[in-house]
Structure 1
């Protein structure tokens, strides 16, 4: 179904935040070799994924030695809560400052996070420190994975469209490094250790004209019988990543048709899109997107740059890319795209204000 809006919505700001600890890809590979080294030959067969991931460095919420320890569910989630709250506040304050809006002017909060459990949800836990109103609307979203950056922004846009001047703060925080199983040798865990990182992003939206861009519309496309492609298995002592090697060929085969559906729901055509702004799930996924969308190799330059500097932070990553696109000059129209568990793709069109 199309995701229609009753009023125009403007994107007023986009901000990002990352933890202080930086790990280079070489350090990540050495750490993984140590942790998975009980079956050295199996690890060495898969080790080239670190070299081919297109990543130079990433940010993680704890010093490297923390990941050598034995941490159960509670210890991992305690780290998630502490770090996620801090990153939420940093990203949210940046976005509000850039938009020139005070926290008590925000009418609604949309929060996306899938890498930890927070009940009450993150926006409630930080509400007092942020200064949100007591009557602020709250929409926490869980389980969207990497697609959450686009799906969350679309949800925030629909919430804002309810009335003129309504202001929504969207924040997504993912701490992948606290969730990945580092004690269990599997191809999926090794790939996850080579790709995933921690970060947060935020955006302020308001019903009305102006801002950085106008949010138009889009849709989510869910493919049947694809639950095994991406997601989490709930295990002890943490989440076991589901990460199928079929993702790049699946993207190459299916994304073009999905994009046509998304653009139809947004009442747009392929010709109206001047740039695709994509979640860089990995180097092979970026290449598959270019192939499927019939755009020149290397066109997704901001995607590769974000992947190289930050790794795959799950949901926030696409907003890191959008921020770079905006800073370089908003195209006449861009289609924001992300893939995630389901298996699903979420798309949203933004036009130059």
Structure 2
């Protein structure tokens, strides 16, 4: 049975973080605490990011507390984002919340038990008998991995309507007490956002085929979270762009073979733009040509790296522009994340 996208949405929280103001505030807050700040400061201007959005206002970053404060803001902000993204995707599909049979929730930037779909249930009107599938720890790969899980559930349940909601509040990982280089890079790149996708076996204009994934051995320290008294602290290894250059082409070719598609005949690659250097590395590794990933750069510029939902922002814009529409050539969406891992999903647009 084929699986199709019926609705898709993206949204961001209300607090805008212009990059020039983030740079100035970071200089005030982090400059005295991190001796290498001045060396990294130019990256604010070369990162490709011009705007981000956060569930917290600017003043919070000066007063940011520990676990209780951060997770309280996650619970409130992420639940609001969940409701907005889910409501918009359902409207796009022409579905009601009461029609949803399976709820897949992706989020790795806070702890919610009960999980976000339960937090949002009273506001959304989901049925009491929905199957709930929360996914944690997928990081930046969560958008594509969540799509793959949702697709498998839809295929296994032919009459089901599946709603995938992806919510991340990356800005709440901001550190000021003992910042490391990775914390400065996170301050330069991170934004908050959400996306939602409505799927079922009923035919529509966008078909989702079975995806693929790859997890490399001995790569656990490349990306993830460290946990301490202040909450979740980002782990970014400087080798990520080099790793993409060395590994992504072979991984993509192997995934394409598994999915019965050819990289040479793709209509377009749709990538998670983790950062400017990662986008450049993807273009080089996949032999796409400089500037090919234009929408990826646009999303990075306007929203920063929102982790898991970011690739859905790219997909939404690619579909709106009509790339590969009616060509019979697949769009191949991909994202890299903790593990270290890669996830892939092919789409066909009528």
Name the TM-score, length of structure 2 as normaliser.
Answer: 0.97
Aligned pairs for 1:75-86 within 5 A: 75-86=69-80
Task: Give the equivalent residue in structure 1 for 2:348.
Answer: 351
How far did 1:265 drift? 1.6
Task: Give the equivalent residue in structure 2 for 1:27.
Answer: 21
Question: Are 1:263 and 2:260 matched, yes or no?
Answer: no
**Aligned with 2:90 (options 82, 92, 96):** 96
**Aligned with 2:334 (options 333, 337, 346):** 337
Deviates more, 1:177-186 or 1:309-318: 177-186
Mapped partners of 1:250, 1:330: distance in 2: 28
Mapped partners of 1:276, 1:70: distance in 2: 38
Q: 1:330 to 1:162 in 2, by over 3 A?
A: farther
1:46-70 CA-to-partner distances (Å, cap 9, x unmatched) read 1122111101111011110111004
Per the alignment, in what secondary structure is the counterpart of residue 165 of structure 1?
Answer: coil
Mapped partners of 1:181, 1:62: distance in 2: 14
How far did 1:351 drift? 0.8
Mapped partners of 1:290, 1:70: distance in 2: 37
1:48-98 CA-to-partner distances (Å, cap 9, x unmatched) read 221111011110111101110041101110000001000000000000000
Question: Are 1:223 and 2:223 matched, yes or no?
Answer: no
Per the alignment, in what secondary structure is the counterpart of residue 38 of structure 1?
Answer: coil
Q: 1:85 to 1:352 in 2, by over 3 A?
A: same
How far did 1:41 drift? 4.5
Per the alignment, in what secondary structure is the counterpart of residue 304 of structure 1?
Answer: helix
Mapped partners of 1:185, 1:165: distance in 2: 50
Mapped partners of 2:37, 2:335: distance in 1: 30
Q: How many residues align?
A: 346
Per the alignment, in what secondary structure is the counterpart of residue 32 of structure 1?
Answer: helix
Task: Give the equivalent residue in structure 1 for 2:275.
Answer: 282
Mapped partners of 2:28, 2:145: distance in 1: 37
Q: Does the Cα contact within 8 Å between 2:279 and 2:297 map onto a contact in 1?
A: yes
Q: Does the Cα contact within 8 Å between 2:33 and 2:177 map onto a contact in 1?
A: no
Name the TM-score, length of structure 1 as normaliser.
Answer: 0.96
Q: Does the Cα contact within 8 Å between 2:67 and 2:230 map onto a contact in 1?
A: yes
Mapped partners of 2:4, 2:290: distance in 1: 31
Mapped partners of 2:271, 2:140: distance in 1: 11
Q: Does the Cα contact within 8 Å between 2:168 and 2:309 map onto a contact in 1?
A: yes
1:205-230 CA-to-partner distances (Å, cap 9, x unmatched) read 0113223x100122110010001110
Q: Does the Cα contact within 8 Å between 2:61 and 2:174 map onto a contact in 1?
A: no
Task: Give the equivalent residue in structure 1 for 2:143.
Answer: 149
How far did 1:162 drift? 1.6
Mapped partners of 2:170, 2:88: distance in 1: 22
Mapped partners of 1:133, 1:182: distance in 2: 43
Over the residues paired in the alignment, what is the CA RMSD in angstroms?
Answer: 1.1
Mapped partners of 1:289, 1:70: distance in 2: 35
How far did 1:39 drift? 4.2
How far did 1:40 drift? 6.0
Task: Give the equivalent residue in structure 2 for 1:321.
Answer: 314
How far did 1:244 drift? 0.7
Question: Are 1:251 and 2:244 matched, yes or no?
Answer: yes
Q: Does the Cα contact within 8 Å between 1:218 and 1:263 map onto a contact in 2?
A: no
Q: Does the Cα contact within 8 Å between 1:181 and 1:239 map onto a contact in 2?
A: no
How far did 1:36 drift? 1.3
**Aligned with 1:168 (options 155, 162, 169):** 162
How far did 1:113 drift? 0.2
How far did 1:145 drift? 0.2
How far did 1:271 drift? 2.6
Task: Give the equivalent residue in structure 2 for 1:73.
Answer: 67
Per the alignment, in what secondary structure is the counterpart of residue 140 of structure 2?
Answer: helix
Question: Are 1:17 and 2:11 matched, yes or no?
Answer: yes
Task: Give the equivalent residue in structure 2 for 1:3.
Answer: none
Name structure 2 gaps, 5 residues minimum: none
How far did 1:22 drift? 0.6
Q: Does the Cα contact within 8 Å between 2:6 and 2:200 map onto a contact in 1?
A: yes
